[in-house]
Structure 1
Amino acid sequence: MTKRDDAALFGNRFLTEPAPSEKFPEEGMAATDAMRLLDVDLAMEGDPQRNLATFVTTWMEPEAQRIIAENLHRNFIDHAEYPISAEIEQRCVRMLADLFHAPGRTTGCRTQGSSEAIMLGALSLKWKWRQRRQAANLPVDRPNLVFGGDVHVVWEKFCRYFDVEPRIVPLAEGKYTIGPEDVEPHLDENTIGVVAVLGTTFTGHKDDVVGIDKLLRDVCKERDLDIPIHVDGASGAFVWPFLYPDSKWDFRLEQVRSINVSGHKYGLVYPGIGWLVFREESDLAEHLVFYENYLGKTDSTFTLNFSTGASMVLAQYYNFVRLGRQGYTYVMRTMQENARTLADNLRGSGRFEVIGSDLEQLPLVAFRLARRARLRRVRCRMATLGRARLDGAGVHAPAQR
């Protein structure tokens, strides 16, 4: 019996053989071998359920997993073949519009995540601005977008990819979000919109959306500049409606025209789903919508991609009907209590300061070394450097510190 036969019977040959990695394989392999190959490679990765650095969903109920597995073959974009999947997407959009207090008939779509939703929402801001400028016979060659240093990198990507000047408000020490006083100096006739973050990835807080909305309403009256707000709710738009239902950040504010949210964060779905919702149908620039008859039925589309699986859309709808407001509130409050327990323990150690836990915040803990611990660390470092100079040894190796 050959070594490969032994591996097939008793073990995994890829524990001793290199995995195919450079050239396209000439021959295939048994299904068991292919599975073991991937198992060995993936064993080196971290366990996503133990990843405390991101907010991405790592667990869903068995019933949801079954729905996902049974619908992996569905190509969502083929509405003629899968009309119920398309209808379920629009059910989710309407439910989100209701959750975000849209005043009337609206529109929106699923995306691969918040990054695609942000690109689409920002493109609509740019096109609507351009329409207003062209109608007034004004130049359209210098658009800018105002946002704080607390945004996700996708906003800078949008500006670079689509030729928009980024006007980034720097964050100050001890101030991790932006407000109207930060935004006002950056506004002019070429501003296509202002981005307000709901739940930053730094500290979990929100920008002062209410204050920015008031500023922009005043600017509209005083300077005749209609500058909209896009709320980046990638993390927070599935949190604030349940933990802080009376907090105004959404379509209850006049200048908020579009909102994005990640279904695969606090929407509790596995990675691969995001949402974009407009305040009104008119807030979507009509020239971004394409009508195609590619697969036997005329459909409208304004997503950046085309083919995509339907399974995560169905999983999102499962969560909506499974949990409802009551269930989402229970989940968010449970996570909030876990975060508070961790924060209390960090404070109790005397070594850490918890940042902003008395404010509206995502169910997370942001912390830093306490002042005493920071000073002690600095003194130790200075003493170490002092000894190094006396010894004439320069910089000590890590083992000597």
Structure 2
Amino acid sequence: MSVGQHPTTPPAPTNGASSYGNEFLLTDAPDHRLPQRGMAADDAMRLVGEELVLDGIPFRNLATFVTTWMEPQAQRVIADNLHRNYIDHAEYPQTAEIEQRCIRMLADLFHAPGETTGTRTQGSSEAIMLGALSLKWKWRARREAAGKATDRPNLVFGGDVHVVWEKFCRYFDVEPRIIPLQPHKFTIGPEDVEPHVDENTIGVAAVLGTTFTGHADDIVGIDALLRRLRDERGLEVPMHVDGASGAFVWPFLYPDSEWDFRLETVHSINVSGHKYGLVYPGLGWLIFREPADLPEDLVFYENYLGKRDATFTLNFSTGSSMVLAQYYNFVRYGHEGYRYIMESMQRNARALAEEIVAIGEFELVGEPGAEQLPLVAFKLTENPDRGYDEFDIASQLAAERGWMLPAYTLPPNAEHVTIMRALVKRALGHSLATTLAHDISDACATLAVKGGLHELDRRRVKTATGY
């Protein structure tokens, strides 16, 4: 079929197609326009299923932080509530109450000092947008009260953040002050933040568990800096903790580590329920230190379907299933269960790290013994005679064994550093982790014989896989 040509409507199924196959076997899948005539439900289900065969296998996806397995009972809760619109609080008041229960539980987990507020979101990206908007609104109110200009807000964060922070700055007219990483330092601390903070700084974003190496910014040190700047220079600069991955890990693996509302300048925290909250996508949470951290101007009240509701989200209609699935996990596992799951993933990550280092071709990335997400970040050791790189290993693993193990370069000024990262999630048990280590070793052995990809082929692989 030529480009731009529309597919024809499939012919009516013959008796043979009905008896021995299905009507789409001899035709293209509908593409540019709705088909004139539909097909049987079983045929439609099979068509979609056969299209998805080309996708990767979620259990072998070591690139995404997003949950790829839930218990059958949790899946039943999700399936039974797909039709329930979360935003219709008047019609589904108990769903709204369950959301508030989750918010209160998270606030307690993050050591909120008293009454608090928050919201569920579509993911951490929406939660970060809302949290950053709150920082901007509060900064603007302080400036207006002091009779000062409000036309040059800036936000300080490191190069180790998710791209959503840059999106916020572009979408909402805030100057991004991005702290570059260093070749041997992949997080930020107070000495990095201080030169960028001034009276127009709406806040500082610190990361708890970066997507690059799984480590945390020096949140305690940044808190101390912001308190000193307040006392010495009168700068009121709050901190938002981007705990998209780490805020469901640190409370259970590192309970004595202070990163949350125990620190005075931390005013808001986001976390992804669909990552280490162990819920399918997409679900995020935004928790404030206290109700006053949510500007009243950002709350909308509407009289809809017989009830006056307050809304504080960028989205409106969305499903209730993942909120209910989060509550299922909370009551199913409790604190003890989450701790056991996180500790199991951490043990498997450490075992995998040992086996990867034992191959003799790799070194771990990051400070040994530092607090970290349950993942393994590693890179090839220096060897100018080696005929392959991390991208070649990723390609070989995908081609031979179906592993989706990402290779990527770090942000400026560490962009010349290429690393690999294996997320050790709940579905990657000890046996699979051992198999993965053996497969990495075999990939290196194969590449040592055949060599890596030519540069043109490597560019094609990077484009196709998103590395």
Question: TM-score scaled by structure 1?
Answer: 0.93
User: Is 1:153–2:167 an aligned residue pair?
Assistant: no
Size of the aligned set, in residue pairs, is 382
Q: Name 1:389's counterpart in structure 2.
A: none
Partner of 1:339: 349
Corresponding residue for 1:390? none
Structure 2: state its 5+ residue gaps.
1-11, 390-453, 458-467
What SS does the aligned partner of 1:15 have?
A: coil
- One-letter amino acid of the counterpart of residue 375, structure 2: L
Distance 1:91 1:37 in 2: 41
> Offset at 1:70?
0.5
Q: State yes or no: 1:99 paired with 2:109.
A: yes
Amino acid at match of 2:145: A
- How do 1:309-324 and structure 2 match up within 5 A? 309-324=319-334
- CA deviations 1:340-367 (Å, max 9, x no partner) are 1110001111110012341100000000
Three-state SS of the structure 2 residue aligned to 1:145 is strand
CA deviation profile, 1:203-224 (whole Å, cap 9, x unmatched): 0000000000000000001111
Q: RMSD in angstroms over aligned alpha carbons?
A: 1.7
Output aligned runs, 1:55-94, within 5 Å.
55-94=65-104
1:77–1:308 contact (8 Å) kept in structure 2: yes
Q: Secondary structure in 2 aligned to 1:376? A: coil
Is the 8 Å Cα contact of residues 142 and 165 (structure 1) preserved in structure 2?
Answer: yes
Counterpart of 1:377 (choices 383, 386, 389) is: 386
Q: Say whether the 8 Å CA contact 1:8–1:33 is kept in structure 2.
A: no
Counterpart of 2:243 (choices 225, 229, 233) is 233
The amino acid across from 1:249 in the alignment is: W
SS in 1 for 2:29: coil
Q: Any idea what SS the aligned residue of 1:14 has?
A: coil
Percent of aligned positions that are identical: 72
Cα distance in 2, alignment partners of residues 396 and 116 from structure 1: 38
Bigger drift between 29-38 and 202-211 goes to: 29-38
Aligned counterparts of 2:286 and 2:455: Cα–Cα separation in 1: 53
- Correspondence 1:182 to 2:189: no
Give ranges in structure 1 of 5+ residues lacking alignment.
381-394
> Deviation of residue 178 (structure 1)?
0.2
Equivalent-residue separation in structure 2 for 1:397 and 1:251 (angstroms) = 50
1-structure distance, mates of 2:25, 2:206: 50
Task: Provide, for residues 67-102 of structure 1, a one-character-per-residue CA deviation record: whole Å limited to 9, x for no partner.
Answer: 101011100100000000000000000000000000
Residues 243-277 of structure 1 show CA distances to partners (whole Å, capped at 9, x for unaligned) of: 00000000000000000000000000001110000
- The letter of the residue matching 1:158 is F
**Deviation by residue 1:118-177 (Cα, 9 ceiling, x = unmatched):** 000000000000000000010000000000000000000000000000000000001000
Give 3-state SS (helix, strand or coil) of 2:376's partner.
coil
Residue aligning to 2:31: 21
User: 1:86-165 alignment to 2 at 5 Å?
Assistant: 86-165=96-175
AA aligned opposite 1:367: F
**Aligned counterparts of 2:277 and 2:30: Cα–Cα separation in 1:** 37
* 1:220 is the counterpart of 2:237: no
1:206-285 matches, within 5 Å, as 206-285=216-295
SS at match of 1:331: helix
Q: Does the residue aligned with 1:293 lie in a helix, a strand or coil?
A: strand
Secondary structure in structure 2 of the residue aligned to 1:366: strand
User: C-alpha displacement at 1:4, in angstroms?
Assistant: 3.9
One-letter code aligned to 1:270? Y
- Match of 1:94, SS state, is helix
Asked if 1:365 corresponds to 2:351, the answer is no
1:377–1:278 CA distance, 2 compared to 1 (3 A): same
Identify if the C-alpha distance between structure 1 residues 379 and 15 changes in structure 2 by more than 3 Å, giving closer, same or farther. Answer: closer
TM-aligned CA deviation for residue 396 of structure 1: 9.8
CA distance in 2 between partners of 1:257 and 1:189 (Å)? 18
Deviations 1:197-244 (A, max 9, x none): 000000000000000000000000111111000000000000000000
* Letter aligned with residue 66 of structure 2: V
**Residues 397 and 60 (structure 1), Cα distance of their counterparts in 2 relative to 1, 3 Å cut:** closer
State the shift of 1:25 in Å.
Answer: 2.2
**Residue of 253, 278, 302 corresponding to 1:292:** 302
What corresponds to 1:383 in structure 2?
none
- TM-superposition CA deviations, 1:165-193 (whole Å, max 9, x none): 00000000010000000000000100000
The one-letter code matched in structure 2 to 1:359 is A
Q: Alpha-carbon deviation of 1:6?
A: 2.1
Aligned to 1:387: none
Structure 2: distance between partners of 1:84 and 1:379: 57
The one-letter code sitting in structure 1 at the alignment partner of 2:331 is V
**Other structure's SS at 1:368 match:** strand
Q: Secondary structure at the match of 2:24?
A: helix
Distance in 1 between residues matched to 2:18 and 2:150, nearest whole Å: 66
The separation in 1 between residues aligned to 2:192 and 2:31, in whole angstroms, is 50
Amino acid at match of 1:71: N
Q: 1:16: Cα distance to partner?
A: 2.6
In 1, distance between residues paired with 2:456 and 2:251? 52
Instruction: Measure how far apart 1:378 and its partner are.
Output: 7.4
Q: Distance in 2 between matches of 1:200 and 1:72?
A: 32
Amino acid across the alignment from 1:326: E
Moved more, 204-213 or 9-18: 9-18
1:298 is paired with a residue whose SS is strand
How far did 1:3 drift?
5.5
Cα distance, 1:377 vs structure 2: 2.3
C-alpha distance in 2 between matches for 1:199 and 1:379: 29
8 Å Cα contact 2:13-2:22 kept in structure 1: no
1:9 to 1:379, Cα distance in 2 relative to 1, 3 A: closer
C-alpha distance in 2 between matches for 1:185 and 1:302: 33
